[in-house]
Structure 1
Amino acid sequence: MAVDHVLTPRPPLRAARAERSRRGARAEALDLVARGAVTPLYEVFAKEDIARAVAKAAAGQVRFRAVVSY
């Protein structure tokens, strides 16, 4: 049986490029945070409404983060 071509594994260039891309995106995101361009989004509940906060969180109805103010 003659082999007309040899299959050789390709180097993991795509994985290396993807990792560099992720590092660049991470650095860019951290730079935005450091410059104050990112504002956290959260929903504040009074301590008297903690039962409602837990119920909304359990039902998946809280947008972003839920914070209970004491």
Structure 2
Amino acid sequence: MASIPPAMAPSTANWHWKNKNVTTWAKTWFERELPTISVQDDGNEVSVSEVVDVDGDVELGQRKSKYVPPMY
């Protein structure tokens, strides 16, 4: 089971946007979870053997004490 990043610190100003950088957590998650996936179709199998490089940022937003996932 995947672990969840720790909660953001409580604050009295929680009505405003807060962002938490979870890039390190996400990189670890990809390295652990992606090699467990394989897909088979018409006798062919595709799988991930290892994650070599991770590029980009991952942030988790919070507003009014509720987590807001990014929308792309």
Length-normalised TM-score, structure 1: 0.25
**Greater Rg by CA:** 1
Q: Which is helix-richer, 1 or 2?
A: 1
Tell me: higher relative CO, structure 1 or 2? Use CA pairs within 8 A at least 6 residues apart: 2
